[in-house]
Structures are given as C-alpha cells and as structure tokens.
Amino acid sequence: MQRFTVAYDYAVHFTQDLFDPGNTVLVDTITKLEPARRHRCLVFLDDGVAAARPGIIQAIVAYAEQHCAAMELVAAPVRVPGGESVKNELFHIEAMLGLIQEHGIDRHSFIIAIGGGAVLDAVGLVAATSHRGIRLIRVPSTVLAQNDSGVGVKNSVNLKGSKNFIGTFAPPFAVLNDLSLIDCLPAREKIAGMAEAVKVALIRDAAFFRWLEHNIDALTTFDRPAMGYMIRRCAEIHMDQIALGGDPFETGSARPLDFGHWAAHKLESLTRNHLRHGEAVAIGIALDTRYSVASGLLGDGQDGRIAALLELLGFQLWHPALEAKTRDGKSAVLEGLQEFREHLGGDLTITLLSAIGRGVEVHEMDTARVLQSIAWLKSRQSLT
C-alpha cells in the first residue's frame, strides 16, 4: 500500500492599493520562497477590471519596474474576457497555454490572475495543467471572488453547457485581496457577492448572521469598513471549512459550502447567465430555507427572516425561470438536483438548515415540497 501525505499552505492577504509601489505585499509574496531570485511573471487581467480601472495596466508595469530586482514581467498584462464567456469557450484556455509556452513560463515562475471568479477559475485551470502546475497568485477583483471562490482550491471551465465540467483541485500559491478593487464595481456586482456571506453565516456562524442583519444599512451603502469585515469573515469561514472540514478536494458526497447551489447552478444555466451567480445563490438559499421549514427541520418564521435579509440587501428572490418546463412538462429547475449529484458523484447530498448557523445534510428532496417552496417564493414576490 503506497501512502504519503502532502501538506498545502497558502497565504491570504487583505490589503488595499496592491499595485502602489510602496505596497510590498505582492513582491514579498513572490520572493517568499526564493528571496534572491528574479522571478518571471505572466499576468492575465480580466478585461472588465481593465475597463473599469483604465490605469491598472500601467500601474502593474510600473510596480514591476519599481521592484525589478525581484520580478520581471515577460509581457505586458494580457487581457482576457471576464464573466462566464472565458469559461465557455476552450480557445481562451488554449490561447493562455500558448502564451505560457511562448514565454517559457516554468514551475519557478508565477502566473498572476487578476479578475472575477470566472477569470480566476479559468486561469487557475491553465496554471494547474501547465507543466503539471505553475505557481498561481490570485488577485480577486469582485466581492464574490474575494470572500468565496478566490480563497478556495478549485479551478474549472464549462463544457457544452455543463458548469465546471473540466477542472482541478489545485491550491493557489497565494491570494491577495485588494479591497480598493471593489470600489469600481457596479452596485449589482457588490450586492451579488453578499449572497455567499449570508450562505456561510446560515450554515456555520449565527453571530455573523446577526451581524449582517444589524449592518444592512452599512452594507447596502457599501461602507468600506463594513464591506471589508463582511468579505474577511466570509473568507475565513470558507477557509476553515476547506482546512478543517475533512474533505478539501471533495472526494465524498457532501458539499456543505454549496448550500443553495443545486438550484442556483440550474438557474444560471436556464437564464444563460443573465442571473449573476450570487443572485442565483440568493434564490437558492431562500428556496432551500423555505424547504427546511416545510420539512420541519427549521423553526417556523425563520424562512421569512432569512428572505427579508436577502431582500433588504437588494436581492430579488423570484425569477420566471423557476417555472420553466422541460419538453415533457416537468419542472426544469428540479433537473438541477440530478445534475448536482452527477457533478459530485456518489449519493445526492443537499445541505439544509436545522437552525441559523447550523447546516444539516439530507439525501433526498421531495418533489412536491420543492414545488411548494417555489410557489412560496412567487407568492412572496407578489407581496413586495
């Protein structure tokens, strides 16, 4: 029996103005293992970030020049499409692989990915599969990426409509969360990222949920200290689950961090990503919370309390896609349960709630009760 253990560790930094030459977080990260070496770096930049921050390419180049003894850009930062488009077309992956090959990026070099979760997913896959693994530094640029996907260990792209079908579990070398990157986001994107904070609070931290309730005004006005705490606490809970949950690479049947996601993933597909991931997750949370109450797992009235928080944060908890039908007249959303199981394998395992702050796993969902929960969301929408 061959057996060995591999330890993984990576730093997650919370900073501001990462590319200010006086901020040494990036260069300190690059030189952490080999301080005397001049490290070759290739930067992939989300074109949404480039458009929102017109001077960011010049700032990255100037930063590298300021710290030229420690780092060298092998090319100007390369813009890549943001959003799901970078994950839907494999030629984007091939193009990035070609640049890595062209510039001789090796396992002692660095790939720096700056962008939202989709760009981090795609560049992460490229880094993990080039030379069997190149050091990856993630610089998440959205709330959702800073508090959730960017601090995790997954990389992926889509295939023929199947979300995250091609992917790897490969931890990054480091994650550098720059709060100033959040400032230029549209309000819709800032709100979308808060869904993951509600999610982790509901399954792991009742005190954090109460903090979210008490700080609705600060969060909806995007107060920087409130946003900073929300992002950091959410990231900490995600990281605790990865490190201490006993299954960081999801070899079992459970995915507790995907509370609300079986419906969310299907809604994203049904709306062709017109629903942002966080917006779909908010609907999925509300749906599974109502189902938890209807099943007797969660106390009466808690579904309304949770839905109210999501609504006050700015989420719409109803979308017509919830009533979409398949060709044989069945609920299209319910197909998400089977797709969710197939993606992970093993038994169907869905996280529901037994209390605010405590998730519970079930292995079946009653179709009639799911449809009743969808009807509850629709009736609630009609009252607002």
- N residues, the chain: 384
Pairing of strands 110-115, 135-140: parallel
Tens of pLDDT, residues 316-359: 999 999 999 999 999 999 999 988 887 666 788 899 999 999 99
Residue ranges of the domains in the chain?
A: 11-182, 190-383
> Could you read off the pLDDT of 115-173 as tens digits, one per residue?
999 999 999 999 999 999 999 999 999 999 999 999 999 999 999 878 889 999 999 99
Buried b (16+ CB within 10 A) or exposed e, 61-99: eebbeebeebbebeeebebbbbbbebbbeeebbeebeeb
Determine the topology of domain 11-182 in CATH: Rossmann fold (3.40.50)
pTM of the model: 0.93
**Hey, is 168 helix, strand or coil?**
strand
Query: What is the tens place of the pLDDT at every residue in 205-233?
Result: 999 999 999 999 999 999 999 999 999 99
DSSP 77: P
Backbone φ/ψ region at 273: left (φ over 0), alpha (ψ -120 to 50), beta? left
What architecture (CATH level 2) is domain 190-383?
Up-down Bundle (1.20)
